[in-house]
Structure 1
Amino acid sequence: MPAPSQESPELIDLFTTYTAGPDSIGAHLRDAAVRAGADDPLLVVTGADMALYPGGGRPPTVLGFRLSTRGFKELAAVSHLGPALASLAALKRGDERGVWRADALRLLTEVRRSRAANDVALWRDRIAAPSYRGREEAIAAMVDYSCDLTERYLVRALADPAYLSERTLREDYLDDGDPGELPVSFNRIMVATFFLVGMDNAHRFITWCDVQGVDWERAMVVIAGQQGRPTAGVTWRTSSVAAIVLAASRHKLPLDRLYMAPHAPVFATPADGDLSEVAALEPALRALWAGTRATVDLGATMFEGYPAFSPSGGDEAVLSFGDTTTEVGEMPPIRSDDDWRALVTRLRVVMEDPRQLLSGAVSDYAAQQLVAHDNDPLAITVPGLDGEPYPGLAAARETAGRRAV
């Protein structure tokens, strides 16, 4: 005999009436929002490229970004020397198989090869990034110095393994010290390489956007997919790409029109000028932005009078009835089970803040209360349920029956 269903078909149908289906109310709202913004420019930034969909069915244009840009990998190779030596020091601790030594020898070989290949002509004539023009000699000198400094450290560490340590790495390589012994610390070199990469990305992107004539007040912006490390750049404040986009707009782009979407579909870097895959993703990406925006806009309708979410708002604010707070940048703390101004404001925040899970308005508070009460669900108060004057089920059905008649 099959086990009885653990679901209520009637309530599941009620669930899907609003969401989880192509013919749901939520889907209809999204579709209406897509139609309303069909002529607005859509800018999509992936981990490697930027695509501008002008709107109105016009074809996209694409700018290569990061991995496909001139000099990125070469400068990243230099900036990685610091973490590489720190990794060797970490590997050496408890290393019984000699892995650190083999890696150090391989790194030494590549450092020497890179130093031999580096010269002014490489940066001026081959890499030839426009934003580096006039600095090629200085960049070549920095790379030569970086390789020499790293080689000397590695040679000493291989000759005397006890020398390889976090202390010597900081004192003799990373940190500022005696200018006679260490004219430029590697920390400064890492800053320089990161700055050069950021400068080049920003320079090319700003130039490209200026040529495109983006209407930033109407622009729909999605930063899609993984940006660097799997955990990196998933919020406005931690995304270097978001900072570049905002700067390129001369801060005309409203921050609430820029969405971080790490799970959004992304296109592969176009090859041989073929933009068919980029064009094919436009409907899905427009639906993602417009659907998110449509839900965000419900917040003001549903929760007028409660503080609104603002991307540029301050940190979490303690709220109370009668206060003058009009916007918050984070979830306000809940002070008690009947802190209704904070509780309802959280409902507005999860609606208007696209970083939030809609069902997560009070999950953290529920978890905190369980921990404080030995994980006993009956020992805590469920706001909005416990102590509320709901009529009994029989009385409610009787009332509903009279209304139906």
Structure 2
Amino acid sequence: MSEHESPELIDLFTAYTAGPQSIGAHLRAAAARAHAHDPLLVVTGADMALYPGGGRPPTVLPYRLSNRGFKELAAVSHLGTALASLVELYQHDPGGVWRADAEHLLRQVRRSRAANSTTLWRDRIAAVAHRGREEAIATMVDYACAVTERHLVRALADPSWLSHRTLREEYLEDGHPDLPVSFNRIMVATFFLVGMDNAHRLIAWCDRQGIDWARTMVVVVGQIGRPTAGVTWRTNGVAGTVLAASRHTLPLDRLYIAPHAPGFATPVDGDLTEVAALEPVLRQLWAGTRVTVELGRAMFDGYPAFSPGDDRPGHPGAARTVSRADEVITEQPRIRSPKDWFTLVTRLRLVMEDPRQLLSGAVTDYAAQQLIDHGNDPLAVTVPGLDDEPYPAYGSVSAAA
């Protein structure tokens, strides 16, 4: 323990939140037992596992390993970004690596165009969701390689032509007479084809499981995509697919995204040992999150409730104020003053009900802004609940019943 800490108050802290014998740990364990027979669906960056509940063994779909054509289509969709990156490299250093990179990309584009064919997409890549479109996909890829090659050849011959403006006007956007289909449209098509194939397989797998969505606990764990992506249900493609697979009968407040939670490696040779071992951990994670939400509802009944449905109109967001208990909020409402107690308590409810929130962050942003507004002078800031409150004199209140 640090010399600046109070042992007595630290022990009071741990009585609720820390250690296996704390109140919080006991509550999480009790919540997990209450949900022991509910289905648990766990999604990682590569796999989906369904734990039926009641001690029955899990079933796993390794959806990334069964993904056909993802890298090939991504290679095409990335061509636009690759050309834009070459523009940046040229602008930063005209005599630098951009030319070698452009020449390397040109060679790969030509090789890919030569390898591309209807037969490749139909007989080798053979994505189930792409059946019947193989010729159209091959034609699109051929065209994408051709217009990219043309752009690279011109840029290498005349680097002064290499700019974001020419890239937009002569490659990315609609309207150029020599560009029957803009590359922006190709990027949309490739992303859609990948998403359609993923969704097709995940939906079919979920349908075969006969999932009772109204009771299902869903956790999306670990990193999915780039490190900053997919941390909310609106930005997580796999979460969106799960919701679609349920035909939107899965209550949105039963789906939690936990980027830092442990996941499992794709099972090898059907060995589900690691998957099974994680079930109690992930059940307690879901149940522990859920019970905090339920505490928030019980403790702050009479204040606006949180809703994860942030795509529905009429829900006030971060820039809105709240004044009625029947309002529904999706983000932190705006605090009008240090005496705006309705909003301040509403924020307490929000940070408990919204799993994305840090519990201690109910007013952190407001405190920071107040410091900015008062020249970073803490004494010039009003601390809600501390300053100007009618506390009795120190030690004068009896704790006896």
Q: TM-score range by the shorter chain?
A: over 0.9
Pairing of 1:189-268 with structure 2 (within 5 A): 189-268=186-265
Please identify, of 281-290 and 267-276, the stretch whose mean Cα deviation from structure 2 is larger. Answer: 267-276
Q: Give per-residue Cα distances to partners, 1:35-77, cap 9 Å, x unaligned.
A: 1111111111111221111111122222223465111111011
Counterpart residue number, 1:306:
303
Contact 2:170 2:176 in 1 (8 A): no
Amino acid at match of 1:347: L
Contact 2:231 2:259 in 1 (8 A): yes
Contact 1:48 1:68 in 2 (8 A): no
Contact 1:66 1:72 in 2 (8 A): no
Amino acid at match of 2:376: N
Pairing of 1:50-129 with structure 2 (within 5 A): 50-66=48-64, 68-95=66-93, 97-129=95-127
SS of the residue 1:35 aligns to: helix
Scaled by the length of structure 2, the TM-score of the pair is 0.95
Contact 1:319 1:325 in 2 (8 A): no
Q: Give per-residue Cα distances to partners, 1:298-355, cap 9 Å, x unaligned.
A: 01110111111111151324123xx353321111111011111100010000010000
Counterpart residue number, 2:322:
319
CA distance in 2, matches of 1:24, 1:376: 38
CA distance in 2, matches of 1:273, 1:136: 32
CA shift for structure 1 position 97: 4.6
Scaled by the length of structure 1, the TM-score of the pair is 0.94
Change (3 A) 1:378 1:27: same
Amino acid at match of 1:145: Y
Structure 1's unaligned 5+ residue stretches are none
CA shift for structure 1 position 4: 8.1
Counterpart residue number, 2:347:
346
CA shift for structure 1 position 167: 1.4
SS of the residue 1:395 aligns to: coil
Amino acid at match of 1:377: P
CA distance in 2, matches of 1:56, 1:149: 57
Please identify, of 216-225 and 67-76, the stretch whose mean Cα deviation from structure 2 is larger. Answer: 67-76
Pairing of 1:3-14 with structure 2 (within 5 A): 5-14=3-12
Counterpart residue number, 1:377:
378
Counterpart residue number, 1:269:
266
CA distance in 2, matches of 1:319, 1:386: 23
Contact 2:46 2:62 in 1 (8 A): yes
SS of the residue 2:213 aligns to: coil
CA shift for structure 1 position 96: 5.2
Counterpart residue number, 2:163:
165
Q: Give per-residue Cα distances to partners, 1:188-226, cap 9 Å, x unaligned.
A: 000000000111111111100000011100111111111
Contact 1:67 1:73 in 2 (8 A): no
Amino acid at match of 2:63: F
Amino acid at match of 2:362: A
Amino acid at match of 1:117: A
Counterpart residue number, 1:359:
360
CA distance in 2, matches of 1:178, 1:106: 27
1:175 to 152, 173, 190: 173
CA shift for structure 1 position 275: 2.2
CA distance in 1, matches of 2:99, 2:281: 50
Please identify, of 326-335 and 344-353, the stretch whose mean Cα deviation from structure 2 is larger. Answer: 326-335
Question: What is the root-mean-square deviation of aligned Cα atoms in Å?
Answer: 1.6
Contact 1:331 1:346 in 2 (8 A): yes
Structure 2's unaligned 5+ residue stretches are none
SS of the residue 1:259 aligns to: strand
SS of the residue 1:238 aligns to: coil
Counterpart residue number, 1:282:
279
Change (3 A) 1:303 1:216: same
CA distance in 1, matches of 2:102, 2:377: 55
Counterpart residue number, 1:36:
34
CA shift for structure 1 position 243: 1.3
SS of the residue 2:60 aligns to: strand
Q: Give per-residue Cα distances to partners, 1:244-280, cap 9 Å, x unaligned.
A: 1111100000000001111111112222322222222
CA distance in 2, matches of 1:219, 1:4: 44
Q: Give per-residue Cα distances to partners, 1:335-384, cap 9 Å, x unaligned.
A: 01111110001000001000000000011111111111111111111111
Amino acid at match of 1:78: V
Counterpart residue number, 2:290:
293
CA shift for structure 1 position 283: 1.5
Change (3 A) 1:113 1:274: farther
Q: How many residues align?
A: 395
Q: Give per-residue Cα distances to partners, 1:118-152, cap 9 Å, x unaligned.
A: 11111111111111010000001111111111111
Counterpart residue number, 1:390:
391
Amino acid at match of 1:255: L
Change (3 A) 1:299 1:113: same
- What percentage of aligned pairs have identical amino acids? 74
Amino acid at match of 1:242: A
Contact 2:316 2:328 in 1 (8 A): no
Amino acid at match of 1:19: T
Amino acid at match of 2:298: T
CA distance in 2, matches of 1:122, 1:65: 22
Contact 1:89 1:166 in 2 (8 A): yes
CA shift for structure 1 position 178: 3.4
SS of the residue 1:237 aligns to: coil
CA distance in 2, matches of 1:224, 1:343: 31
